[in-house]
Amino acid sequence: MEEQQQKKSINMGIDDGEEFFAHETSINFNPTQFILDFRCITPRIDPRSSQVPFVHLKHNLVMVDPWHAKEILRVLTNSLENYEKQFGKIEQPKAVKKFLDKQKKAVKETTEKTQTPSYLG
């Protein structure tokens, strides 16, 4: 009888989920958890309704307690350091730099054109 109890096994199913590319990420927290929201935003063309743009938003949430959030940070930092040792420093892509510079310039021009009322000093 003891031998039968020792030979118990567990059947387990694993749902790996889908691969997911995140274009955007946000992190929120409360006293007991961190919520990591990974989002993929894809514009779609619907031939039945060409006048109304359609955007498909898909997101995955990961909720962890504060200690696990800190562990994720430690593991990610370590992984990034190892990546840069092997492949070189990770830098912002030129296209992103160009876009951000263009955005800053547009904001500056808009700010310069805007008249501030004299009562604000």
Number of folded domains in the chain? 1
Please give the average pLDDT of every successive group of 10 residues along the chain, which has 121 residues: 67 84 93 95 74 81 96 97 97 93 87 66 51
Token pair belonging to 7: 């030979």
Cβ neighbours, 10 Å, residue 29: 13
Tokens (6 digits) for 76:
């990610």
Residue 15, SS3 per DSSP: coil
**What one-character DSSP code corresponds to residue 115?**
P
**Of 28, 32, 34, 26, the residue nearest 59 (C-alpha):** 26
- Is residue 118 domain-resident? no
10 within domain boundaries: no
Q: Is residue 51 part of a domain?
A: yes
Report d(CA 78, CA 74) in Å as an integer.
6
Q: Which domain holds residue 67?
A: 18-111
pLDDT value of position 87 = 97
